[in-house]
């Protein structure tokens, strides 16, 4: 069964303790705690979602989505939990809402059934129709096109369908478990363009304090640039 300890984490049936983020102020140490959460999510959530309770409670208590973790920032709590904690799973926003609802109602088994890994999503996906054909990839009078109704890069089912159409070799690799997420497969298929280091830096600049910006300036001045 599940035993809850506020400061020592939650023990799930596998016997592995979930590290707590309470009292962890160092950014690097907090990043390591969240990385452990990711590994626990990857190994246990499909069989036992009870661990997610502690993660939700600590995320709410500490407002973790407001902190920069591992170079990323998040728009809200659900964005943090979906993108960071459940990073190895392919959940739409609707699926993620169903997971949280099931957990809050004390039904972790129901939540576990919603969580799907990349291989499962790929196996269930139907490839998009070829370019120019009437069907899933093109609009008709009654249904908007996939491109208008689904934003590429935000929906795992769309990415899986597009990879199956454009890069069946990568689709087979996903089903063999060679990619940990659909996003990683989409990057390999050249469907998603990840931000460059420069783009990531520019995105973070507005969040820096005046002191932080001065530190960056000094670091750039000290670097031996070509």
CB contact at 8 A, 84 and 72:
yes
61 alpha-carbon distance from chain centroid: 21
CB contact at 8 A, 141 and 81:
no
Segment 156-178, tens digit of pLDDT: 888 999 999 999 999 999 998 88
pTM above 0.85, yes or no: no
The Cα 201–Cα 212 span in angstroms is 13
Segment 1-37, tens digit of pLDDT: 233 332 333 333 444 578 899 999 888 899 999 988 8
What integer pLDDT is reported at residue 62 of this predicted model? 93
Segment 74-110, tens digit of pLDDT: 888 888 888 888 877 777 777 888 888 888 887 877 8
Among candidate residues 30, 32, 31, 2, the one with its CA nearest the CA of residue 17: 2
**Residue 146: exposure state from Cβ atoms within 10 A (0-12, 13-18, ≥19):** buried
DSSP 81: I
89 alpha-carbon distance from chain centroid: 7
């Amino acid at each position: 069964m599940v035993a809850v300890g506020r400061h020592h984490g939650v023990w799930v049936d596998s016997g592995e303790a979930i590290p707590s983020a309470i009292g962890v102020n160092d950014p690097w140490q907090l990043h390591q705690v969240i990385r452990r959460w990711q590994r626990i999510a990857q190994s246990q959530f499909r069989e036992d979602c009870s661990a997610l309770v502690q993660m939700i409670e600590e995320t709410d208590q500490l407002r973790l989505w407001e902190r920069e973790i591992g170079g990323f920032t998040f728009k809200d709590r659900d964005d943090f939990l979906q993108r960071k904690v459940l990073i190895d799973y392919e959940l739409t926003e609707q699926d993620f809402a169903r997971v949280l609802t099931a957990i809050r109602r004390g039904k972790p088994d129901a939540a576990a059934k919603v969580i799907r890994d990349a291989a499962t999503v790929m196996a269930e996906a139907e490839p998009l129709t070829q370019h120019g054909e009437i069907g899933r990839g093109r609009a008709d009078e009654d249904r908007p096109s996939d491109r208008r109704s689904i934003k590429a890069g935000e929906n795992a089912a769309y990415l899986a369908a597009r990879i199956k159409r454009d890069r069946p070799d990568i689709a087979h690799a996903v089903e063999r478990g060679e990619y940990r997420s659909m996003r990683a497969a989409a990057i390999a298929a050249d469907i998603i363009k990840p931000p460059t280091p420069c783009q990531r830096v520019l995105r973070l600049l507005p969040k820096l304090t005046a002191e932080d910006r001065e530190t960056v300036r000094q670091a750039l001045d000290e670097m031996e640039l070509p």
